Amino acid sequence: MLNILKMLAAWLLPQPAVILLLLFYSHAKAAELVGRSVLSADTFAFGSTTAQFKKTNRTTPFLRAQPVQGFSAVVKGPKAGTYLVISDNGFGSKANSPDYRLRIYAVEPDFTTGKVFPVNLQTGERLSWFDRQSFLELNDKNRKVNFPIIADQLFYPGSTISVNPAIRTNRLLTGGDFDIESFQRLSDGSYWLGDEFGPFLLHVGQNGELLDPPISLPNFLGVGKLDFVKSPDHPELINLPDEPARLTAANLGGSKGFEGMAINTSGTKLYVLLEGSLKGDSLKQRLLIHEFDLASKQYTGQIFSYQLEHQSHAIGELTAINNYEYIVIERDNHQGDPNNSAFKSPAQFKRLYKINIKQIDAQGFVDKQLLVDLLNISDPRRIGGNITKAGIFTIPFVTIESVLPVDSRTLLVINDNNYADSYGRIPRQADNTEFILLRLKKSLNLFNRH
């Protein structure tokens, strides 16, 4: 339709009119910005000293505190308008994050004031600060992890810095143990989390304690020689002599584990999506979605294939609409508003797709339809202020890792700000965490899980 419109417009109208008509058509298809709340990049919570192994443009280490950042997944919170979010492993790698305590935070984005508030994890009541009431810390008090963790050590790896006593005493899990990138909460109050270092599935109780040993992913397709899918950070590869050796031994790239996790609306199955393709897979643009049965706590062996638009792309999340339809965030590795000339290599591809696992094409890929172009969001009310250009608001961050249907026509989208290494909104200024509400032109067939 758009191509036909272009040809007719070029034939019938002068060039300025053509541009205006195409802009109108583009805006008409775009989702609309209806809310935006911002959490400052330099937001800190109570904790032990962090960033002792991270080089950044901030003054480090952060004494008796850790940054509230790197949100990689979101679910509904204790009351309407509140949400639970997870921070990932901290600063990007096992080596620089052993002092970062893994947490689930409770927050309330206020779309009237544009601010994000910490709330009580149990009640949803607003708090003045990210104190102990606002988060849940993951731990291995039950000693379920079947390999050494940071809490087992006297010193942080490769250093003479003592492991914080709170981490050791409470067996708190850190970014040196797991990189949690996705999660879901069950009706019994427990959580399932997807890790990238294994990749592993983690089952966590209401108090943050691991309930089961980390669950590995079998190599169901038999790609390569390994029986299980393993990243270079897998604990079984840790004793290899160097990083090249670990990369060679692994059958999955680093930071390419469980980036997406959805739970069906029946509450019976998890669907976990790898961020990267398996090494040796002849289909370079194929990402695998594995089905996991919650009752038996086992993979069913059912696999679905998602096709990237380009093999250099990555996914940010997998979220359920109903039992068969899901939302996937797909993105390139660039950052910056393409409408801002200050960005020399801006974002070009940040999109939400709707997939249907009951509709498979001739090549074996799930049906995939464009839902929202995150670089082309209509903002007629100028909620984005001076960020909005010519009526268009963009979400140009390098990593966008959270999406959640609020209702059948409204989506919440949150970026991972990679504190303080991403500069997608303003050149050379560390990204804040933005909570963004988008209004769709067409309703989703949304079924809420009870």
One-letter identity of residue 326 = Y
Q: What's the pLDDT at 30?
A: 72
Angle of helix 2-12 relative to helix 15-29, nearest 10 degrees, comes to 160
Residues near 276 by beta carbon (within 8 Å), at least 6 away in sequence: 252, 253, 255, 256, 287, 314
In degrees, rounded to 5, the angle at the alpha carbon of residue 55 between the alpha carbons of residues 401 and 49 is 85
Peptide bond into 61 cis (omega under 30): yes
Q: Which residues of the chain have pLDDT under 50?
A: 1-10, 13, 15-28, 450
pTM for the predicted model, two decimal places: 0.93
Q: Which residues pair with 67 in a beta bridge?
A: 44
Q: In which order are the strands placed within the sheet that holds 350-360?
A: 314-320, 325-331, 350-360, 366-373
**Alpha carbon distance 443, 322 (integer Å):** 13
DSSP character string of 242-295: SHHHHHHH-SS-TT-SEEEEEE-TTSSEEEEEESSPPTT-S-TTEEEEEEEETT
Q: Are 311 and 336 in contact (CB under 8 A)?
A: no
Query: Residue 199: is the preceding peptide bond cis (ω within 30°)?
Result: yes
Using an 8 Å Cβ cutoff, are 364 and 306 in contact? no
Task: Tell me what the pLDDT averaged over the chain comes to.
Answer: 93
The pLDDT value recorded for residue 14 is 53
Those residues with Cβ within 8 angstroms of residue 243's Cβ, 6 or more apart along the chain or in another chain: 232
Q: Say which residues have a Cβ less than 8 Å from residue 187's Cβ, sequence separation at least 6.
A: 267, 450
